[in-house]
Structure 1
Amino acid sequence: MPQPSSTRRWEIDALRGLMLVLMTVTHLPTRLTDPLGQPFGFVSAAEGFVLLSAYMAGLVYGRLAWRKSIAHMTRAFWRRALVVYGCQAATLVFLFTVIAFIGVKVDQPAVKNLMALYLEQPVAALVNGLLLIYEPPLLDILPMYVLFMLASPWALALALRFGWLPLVAASVAQWVLAQFGLSEWVYQALSTWLPTPVAYEETGSFSTFAWQFLWMLGLWMGATRNDPAAPPLAFPRWAVLLACVVAAVCLVWRHAVGQAPFEANATLNLLFDKWQLGPLRLVNLFALLILTIHFGPALARRLPRVRALETLGTASLPVFCAHLAVVLLVLALFGPELDRSWWIDAPLLLGCFAVLYAVARVSLWLDQPPDDDGRPRPDDVVSAATSTRPVWRAPATGSPAARAVSSPARR
């Protein structure tokens, strides 16, 4: 039930829904985990989901900053960050209560290893988890979102005043330093002043200093779409052809050798590393991004719309949290085995996606304003600032947007 095209981007919703499906299949331990993990090359659904979310954040909140003020945009970002933080806290409590009880009761090693610190130091684990320091596996994505959304108002405000080049350059520099251990260095420096029982390995698998580059890239792409004078996102023919070659090579390579491109060579595998966003992984991602932007509009016009994917993508935050709950329950009850009978895996998959779709429908129904006509408001970053007004125009002198950029009080 997406909204009209003036307020919704159904193709973005469908892509986010597809990313959620791929993440669920990857995280849920079944026979499909390995073959459908990174199905398009050495790129996972997480990269696509972060990039899409950042794009919508830049598009919607950037429009809010121009139409109203930096202060309005900042409050909208922070409200959404608080909602995402609440989801992270609820998922953490679910892990430390329901999943911990089941895992200990059935003596499930996978669950015990997943929350080892909590089983040893429950109070410290809970406090540090709520502070976004302790991030057990699978629960390390939303904390990254919270940090990115808290930092985004300053990024957009600086971009409105000084342009995007300095911000993108600083983001690239952080990504480069992250390849040489910036995250661990910062952890060591901070733990010297603020000792914590949380080891570096338990602070989350994702390198925030590397993944911020994807968020900044998406934020830039989305925010610049609000400028009527901005050139279209288009690429020369040679870039499209090169992207086709790179994407095809990586696709065949991934399915020929598996998800480890260089098999047992750990040093070379770092070039495609997911957690650090290795350089060759970014090359593969950029190739897919170019192809999506170039061929996407034509495919969207010709392919039938998959309403179920749109529904999942529109309610992306509750669906994402629900997928975590289902995956944790399956791990606690069935373990991480990937070679179970299809008589078990098929009902698991069908039941999981039935739950996710039901969560999406209920969430969209609950999210309808009282005077709505039955169409859901958009979820995730879009919900804070969707508007039916025309696409914004460059602000005139004296407009709220101009005052937002020029007034120190509003910055």
Structure 2
Amino acid sequence: MTTPLDLPAPSRTARPCEAVAGTAAPRRRRVVALDLMRGYYVAILAAVHLDYLPSLLGDVDGRGSLLVSEAENFFMISGLLVGMLRRRDLERHGAARMARNSWRRAGQLYLVAVALTLLYTGIGRVATAHGHTDVKAGLNSGSSPLGVLGQAATLRYTYGWADFLTFYVPMFLLVPVAIWLLSRRLAAVIVLLAYAGFVLPSRTDTGFLSPFLQWGIYFFLGMAAGYHWDDLRRLAGRLPPITRRGARVALVIAAVVIYAAGTVLLYHPELTSGPVYNELFQDNRLGLLRPVLAAISAAGTYLLIRHFERPLARTIGWVLLPLGRNSLYVYVAQSLVIFLIPLAFGPHGFWFNTSVDLAIIVAIWCAVRIRFLAFLLPGA
């Protein structure tokens, strides 16, 4: 069984899926480039969330404050893989099976997310009672246990560094509707609705719905691309070779420029102080052009990694591939580690902070290899 963060991806050589319900579709294999990307994103999240600066990974990852963050690209890849697999379900087994698979995934994530919120709330309250001041912000320290349970169960309260799991739940509940629209060539409707939801939190008070609306745009953008993955490959294959190469080069260059520009702005915040920049790119990650930049960045990064896929898989792949192929397990495990570390010690110098970041990645990698406590996570 797979999870939304651990979905198998199609091979680059897979033919367009033409199976109808009840007919076996061609077997698909994983796309190594996507596993490499997911492995990097989920590994770097520890450094982003721990935020012990200065550090090597803190400089590389942009401290989560670039024009496009790892989280945005990660949501987009998750949606892309969901679009691929749910289309396969639809064509192999029909709409009912497709919907059941999506809602089962939502239920699994819901149980894990609520349990983690309760766990971290309990740890946070105990730590606070013992005088610790470095507990993660957002702790509900006033409600009764039943009150906390009720808020967590209705997704109005999430706590800890695994809160993205909560955001996925309503997305997976809506996946069957999105697949139905995509099957009727209404991808534009999905994108427009998701973008309208993205804009709402910066225009009006959307309360506890804000994070679901904020991250939904990336998931459903990726889902539309994933559903039409084979169609897009066919379309690209019909382009003249020089046009196809030019488009690929342009996307790669654009992705590099987006990352480089974000890094420059990170170290020169005076360039980002104007209202125009805040409206278009930042505004607490609600800048109007951020989804556009994220789509360009994800596409360009994929093409770049795809080009160097074999040497990357032979070198750093031994670290990143296990992380990318077990990303739910990695995400949950690192959330526990970085929640507890500030209770033990704080940041020091560059080399100490860098060592802590790398030690977390090594520890999680080892846990993945030996499958330590993997039985607690569905399909991890």
Residue aligning to 2:176? 153
Residue aligning to 1:224? 228
* CA deviation vs aligned residue, 1:106-125 (integer Å, no higher than 9, x gap): x222317431x234544323
Residue aligning to 2:44? 22
Residue aligning to 2:134? 110
Post-superposition offset of 1:274 = 6.9
Residue aligning to 1:282? 291
Q: How many residues are treated as equivalent by the alignment?
A: 345
Residue aligning to 1:163? 186
Contact 2:326–2:368, Cα closer than 8 Å, also in 1: yes
Contiguous gaps of at least 5 residues in structure 2: 1-7, 12-27
- The equivalent position to 2:119 in structure 1, one of 74, 81, 94, is 94
| Residue identity in the other structure for 1:322 | A
Post-superposition offset of 1:147 = 1.1
Contact 2:80–2:225, Cα closer than 8 Å, also in 1: yes
Q: Quick one: structure 1 residues 227 and 159, their matched pair in 2 at CA, closer, same or farther if it must change by over 3 Å?
A: same
The yes-or-no answer on 1:79 pairing with 2:104 is yes
- Which region of structure 1 is more displaced relative to structure 2, 297-306 or 314-323? 297-306
Residue aligning to 1:192? none
Contact 2:75–2:219, Cα closer than 8 Å, also in 1: yes
TM-score (norm 1): 0.72
- The equivalent position to 1:54 in structure 2, one of 79, 88, 93, is 79
Q: Quick one: structure 1 residues 211 and 174, their matched pair in 2 at CA, closer, same or farther if it must change by over 3 Å?
A: same
Post-superposition offset of 1:137 = 5.8
Q: Quick one: structure 1 residues 251 and 137, their matched pair in 2 at CA, closer, same or farther if it must change by over 3 Å?
A: farther
- Which region of structure 1 is more displaced relative to structure 2, 121-130 or 265-274? 265-274
The yes-or-no answer on 1:354 pairing with 2:362 is yes
The yes-or-no answer on 1:212 pairing with 2:251 is no
Q: Secondary structure at the match of 1:354?
A: helix
| Residue identity in the other structure for 1:127 | G
The yes-or-no answer on 1:135 pairing with 2:158 is yes
Q: How does 1:225-374 map to 2 (within 5 A)?
A: 225-226=229-230, 230-232=234-236, 237=246, 240-241=249-250, 244=253, 247-248=256-257, 251-255=260-264, 257-258=266-267, 260=269, 262-265=271-274, 268-273=277-282, 275-305=284-314, 306-335=317-346, 338=347, 340-341=348-349, 344-363=352-371
Contact 2:138–2:159, Cα closer than 8 Å, also in 1: yes
The yes-or-no answer on 1:38 pairing with 2:46 is no
What is the alpha-carbon distance in structure 1 between the residues aligned to residue 373 and residue 162 of structure 2?
Answer: 26
What is the alpha-carbon distance in structure 2 between the residues aligned to residue 164 and residue 149 of structure 1?
Answer: 17
Q: Quick one: structure 1 residues 255 and 268, their matched pair in 2 at CA, closer, same or farther if it must change by over 3 Å?
A: closer
* CA deviation vs aligned residue, 1:276-332 (integer Å, no higher than 9, x gap): 431243343233234234434322144343122110111111110111111110122
Q: Quick one: structure 1 residues 175 and 208, their matched pair in 2 at CA, closer, same or farther if it must change by over 3 Å?
A: same
What is the alpha-carbon distance in structure 1 between the residues aligned to residue 256 and residue 138 of structure 2?
Answer: 34
Contact 1:104–1:112, Cα closer than 8 Å, also in 2: no
What is the alpha-carbon distance in structure 2 between the residues aligned to residue 112 and residue 208 of structure 1?
Answer: 21
Residue aligning to 2:196? 173
Post-superposition offset of 1:360 = 2.0
Contact 2:113–2:163, Cα closer than 8 Å, also in 1: no
The higher radius of gyration belongs to 1
Contact 1:56–1:222, Cα closer than 8 Å, also in 2: yes
Post-superposition offset of 1:239 = 8.2
What is the alpha-carbon distance in structure 2 between the residues aligned to residue 343 and residue 211 of structure 1?
Answer: 34
Contact 1:38–1:45, Cα closer than 8 Å, also in 2: no
Residue aligning to 1:126? 149
What is the alpha-carbon distance in structure 1 between the residues aligned to residue 369 and residue 249 of structure 2?
Answer: 38
* CA deviation vs aligned residue, 1:388-407 (integer Å, no higher than 9, x gap): xxxxxxxxxxxxxxxxxxxx
Post-superposition offset of 1:13 = 1.4
Identify the structure with bigger relative contact order (alpha carbons < 8 Å, sequence gap 6+): 1
Contact 1:41–1:284, Cα closer than 8 Å, also in 2: no
Q: Secondary structure at the match of 2:120?
A: helix
Contact 1:247–1:287, Cα closer than 8 Å, also in 2: no
Contact 2:68–2:258, Cα closer than 8 Å, also in 1: no
Q: Quick one: structure 1 residues 16 and 242, their matched pair in 2 at CA, closer, same or farther if it must change by over 3 Å?
A: closer
TM-score (norm 2): 0.77
Q: Secondary structure at the match of 2:80?
A: helix
Q: Secondary structure at the match of 1:108?
A: coil
Contact 2:114–2:158, Cα closer than 8 Å, also in 1: no
Post-superposition offset of 1:265 = 4.7
Q: Quick one: structure 1 residues 274 and 94, their matched pair in 2 at CA, closer, same or farther if it must change by over 3 Å?
A: farther
Post-superposition offset of 1:20 = 0.7
Percent identity at matched positions? 23
Q: Secondary structure at the match of 1:81?
A: helix
What is the alpha-carbon distance in structure 2 between the residues aligned to residue 358 and residue 164 of structure 1?
Answer: 41
Q: How does 1:387-406 map to 2 (within 5 A)?
A: none
Post-superposition offset of 1:242 = 7.3
- Which region of structure 1 is more displaced relative to structure 2, 275-284 or 155-164? 275-284
Contact 1:108–1:332, Cα closer than 8 Å, also in 2: yes
Post-superposition offset of 1:45 = 0.8
Post-superposition offset of 1:143 = 1.1
- Which region of structure 1 is more displaced relative to structure 2, 239-248 or 319-328? 239-248
What is the alpha-carbon distance in structure 2 between the residues aligned to residue 319 and residue 242 of structure 1?
Answer: 30
What is the alpha-carbon distance in structure 1 between the residues aligned to residue 373 and residue 117 of structure 2?
Answer: 25
What is the alpha-carbon distance in structure 1 between the residues aligned to residue 230 and residue 70 of structure 2?
Answer: 26
- Which region of structure 1 is more displaced relative to structure 2, 74-83 or 294-303? 294-303
